[in-house]
Each structure stands twice: as structure tokens, then as C-alpha cells.
Amino acid sequence: DPRMRRRAIEAMGSVGDRAGLLELFDQLQDDDAKRDVMQGLGIAGGVDELAKIASSNASPTVRAEAIKAIGITGGKRGSGQVVGWYASGDDLIKRAVIESLVRLTMGAAPPLLESLRGVAPALRLRVADTLSPAGGELGVELHFERLDPGRTRG
């Protein structure tokens, strides 16, 4: 039962069982089940494990889901991991990067634009377009980023 599987995986993630989740990931063949495990790794804060999956897996779908799951982990460290994959040229991966960055910024709103300074202006603008309606200080900063790429209010 997929719902029971998800609940069990979420429980493993909640207690931080990254090793168990990685072992389970390696045993699974089904991409949906692997996605559930990657989300569990996100809950467990497994940025490094998810980055390894995103960098080494042959399946573009699995790689994209790993990138999205990094967004679940929260924190600036995760945003630093995902921005590099935007340059892959693959639309599926680009969408996953943007979704992950959106998730990473919804909580405490880390200094996202600073973490994106060295990357392509196209990525900064797409993130700004996606997040500027969020409101608050982050929304205002991203609105200014859309108007004047690469420069924020000082």
C-alpha cells in the first residue's frame, strides 16, 4: 500500500534514519517508491545523500526528484547545492531546481539572492518571477531583482 509505505518512510525520516533510507533506496526499482524515500531523506536533512543521488543517478526523473527533495531539508546549505544543477540545460532539472529553491525559501527566507550571485542571471530572474508574489521582505527584494537583475536594495 503506497500510503503505508509513505508513512513508514516519513517516520524513518523524522527520526533521522538516513542510512536505513539509503539502503531502502538502493533496493527499490520503482521510481514512485524512490521518490518517497528521497522525500524521507529530505525530512531527515540528508542534503549530502540527496546531492549524491542527483549527481550520480542515470534517470532524469530520479535526479529531478532528488533535487526537489533537497528543498524539503531547508536552510542555505541546500540552496548552495541545487543552484549548480540549473546549468544542465535539461528543462526537467531546471524546474526541479526552481521548485527546490522555492521550498528552501518559504520558511525562514534565507538570503537567497546572495546565494545566487555567482549564477546565471536567467536563474535569478526565474526564481524572482516565481517568488516575488510571496510578499514580505523577500518578495520586495525579489521584485527589485526582477527590475534590476544582480542588484538589490542596500
Q: Looking at residue 64, what is its pLDDT?
A: 93
Q: Is the pLDDT of residue 20 over 50?
A: yes
Q: Is the pLDDT of residue 12 over 80?
A: yes
Mean of pLDDT values over 43-72: 90
Supply φ then ψ for residue 106, to 5 degrees: -75, -30
Is the entire prediction scored with pTM above 0.75? no
Residue 13 buriedness (CB in 10 A; 0-12 / 13-18 / 19+):
buried
Q: What is the pLDDT of residues 74-87, one digit of tens each?
A: 766 777 778 788 77
Instruction: Return the sign of the alpha-carbon dihedral for residues 104, 106, 110, 116.
Output: positive
